[in-house]
Amino acid sequence: MSLLELAAVVAASYLIGAIPVGYLTGKLMRGIDIRDHGSGVIGATNVLRVLGRGPFLVVMVLDAAKGYIPTLVTWYIFGTHDLQVAAGIAAVLGHDFPVYIRFRGGRGVATSFGVYAALALPLFVGMFALGLFIVLALRYMSVMSMATVPGGAVVLLVLALTSAGDDFTYTKTIFGAFATFFVVVTHIPNIRRLIRGTEPKIDAKARAGST
């Protein structure tokens, strides 16, 4: 891995991750800045509350693709997990801090899911199933986010420590640790609302301060 390759991968992945799908969807559908509504972020959950289920599904899939595509393509081009993990981290950073809209983006959950899918598809399937169960059972998107993304990191770490994973599982845990940090930090307000019992559920309409 050369410095030039690393710079190229990080730059390209960041710019792809920075495509503000939720923001563009709000502009195209209603002529609004989605960040002026609900939780003030461009992620799929805010889109669900402001624009509805159809736009939510589109944004969720495309946000995940922003993580999946650069991470997978990097592997096929360079064949190194170091660069692959760098691509995933850069894509999530792009989503969270998009240069196109003055660095006010989302929380990186769907994009992190996309990266996990490229790094370890069976793990992604398990995370998706767990996330779906949590959403259906508890109706809290924030709980789903804080359970699945860190949960994926824990699984990777266990595989690495027990030598049950492949030779590059340790490298993949770097992304898991990064994603966990960002998801937990960006969900601190949600944690406080959960403790107070004021966290809105998935079917709540958009309002200031919601997830």
pLDDT of residue 165: 61
pTM over cut 0.85:
yes
∠ Cα 133 139 140 (to 5°):
100
For residue 166, what pLDDT is reported? Answer: 65
pLDDT tens per residue, range 151-178: 999 998 888 888 766 667 788 899 999 9
Each residue's pLDDT tens digit, 3-18:
999 999 999 999 999 9
